[in-house]
Copies of this chain bind each other. A is one copy, B any other.
């Protein structure tokens, strides 16, 4: 991971760099709000420069693409976004666990069961995003939000764990974490009775999470650890 960003920032760089990722659709659902949302993010947001990347819903390849993007962009913030169909709120994940246990195959047809993501890696990593402050800011902005204690054991948790593993072995601290979002309203006709959230709310929510994190970095508090 090219260590330029934090280092330069320490010597006066005014801009903070954020990488935001979303996932391709998976299963038999033709849409995934996470990728729709990141495509609508602005390139600049206050003191933030934003870069976005689309990840495949594939265990192994998603990790490689994420690692390359982090190496290329040397971001100060990485926020991975994924769909959690059935949840009603924006949920900021607290902890990534070192296990793949897939209820359905990924988009490449691979279905790992009870497999360590990083052999010999720690059982879990905590996010380094200020998740409590972010939830408070989201609610103040009238967006439903909460902390989640499980990102599951599918591709979302996989990417989240790989991300936090990159952070753990990086030379500088990095604010990194995972945001799960509900179905879009248009998806609910396939999932009757399920809660949903508009794309506008999701996009606005992502920006709030990024802004709260940027403000913390600007205040010199850096990553939670």
Enumerate chain A interface residues (CB-CB to B < 8 A): 88-89, 94-95, 97, 99, 101, 114, 122-126, 132, 139, 142-144, 146-147, 149-150, 152-153, 184-186, 188-189, 192-198, 200-201
Contact B124 A97 (CB under 8 A): yes
Per the bound structure, the CA–CA distance linking A11 and B142 in Å amounts to: 49
Distance between Cα atoms of A147 and B99 in the complex (Å): 13
- A144's contact among B139, B188, B201, by CB below 8 Å, is which? B188
Q: Cβ of B195 and Cβ of A195 under 8 Å apart?
A: yes
- Contact present for A88 and B196 (CB under 8 Å): yes
Contact partner of A201 (CB less than 8 A), chosen from B139, B146, B193, B198, is: B198
In the assembly, what is the distance between CA of A81 and CA of B144, in Å? 23
Task: Please state if A194 and B125 are interface contacts (CB–CB under 8 Å).
Answer: no
Q: Which residues of B contact A193 (CB under 8 A)?
A: 88-89, 146
**B146:A192 contact, CB within 8 angstroms:** yes
CA distance A147 to B196 in the complex (A): 17
Choose from B123, B147, B197 the contact partner of A124 (Cβ within 8 Å): B123
Distance in Å: Cβ of A59 to nearest Cβ of chain B: 17
Closest to A131 in B: B114
Residues of B within 8 A of A149 (CB): 97, 150, 152-153
